[in-house]
Amino acid sequence: MLVKGKVLKYGDDINTDVIFPGRYLDITDSEEMAKHAMEDLDPDFPKKIGDGVVIVAGKNFGCGSSREQAATCLKYAGVKAVVAKSFARIFYRNAINQGLPVFDSMEVNELNEGAIVEIDTDEGTIKDNVSGGIYKINPLPSFLDEIIKSGGLIESLKSRGIK
């Protein structure tokens, strides 16, 4: 699978409270959730999305509460993937369940804000189309990759005839 987007870069310990602020937890519509993605961390986030972005972050992305809305709002806001040095375990699985690709890589510091990248999930690489650099990601196990390719856990189960 190929994932393309412009890099938006953030630091370490980006928690679910800034990904999707608690004051919006009563919103259940995914499109409405997307309007509030990252607003406490980056108020200009919606303006930066364009045709889709790849969030690049440091360690422990998605720490904090277990709110599923954090992954949902990013997906519906137009985030094509998240690449970080490491993820909080619950966020990582919530992202997979929502069909939002997440990859860990120790080489994320090499990617610059605004770079146009192409993630090749089969090769386990990120190509920076600006600098020409190629960096390694840890590919998803095949069973998680299939969930992503199906559009999330529910769609994956439906495609296998499971109700």
- Is the pLDDT reported for residue 111 higher than 90? yes
pLDDT band at 161 (very low <50, low <70, confident <90, very high): confident
DSSP label of 72:
H
What is the predicted pLDDT for the residue at 50? 87
pTM of the full predicted structure? Answer: 0.94
What is the predicted pLDDT for the residue at 162? 84
Contact residues for 149 (Cβ-Cβ < 8 A; gap 6+): 1
Q: CA–CA separation, 6 vs 31, rounded Å?
A: 21
Mean local confidence (pLDDT), 5-14: 97
Contact residues for 158 (Cβ-Cβ < 8 A; gap 6+): none
Contact residues for 63 (Cβ-Cβ < 8 A; gap 6+): 13, 14, 15, 16, 88, 91
Q: Tell me, what amino acid is at 95? A: A
Q: CA–CA separation, 62 vs 20, rounded Å?
A: 10
Q: Does domain 2-159 have CATH number 3.40.50.280?
A: no
Residue ranges covered by each domain of the chain: 2-159
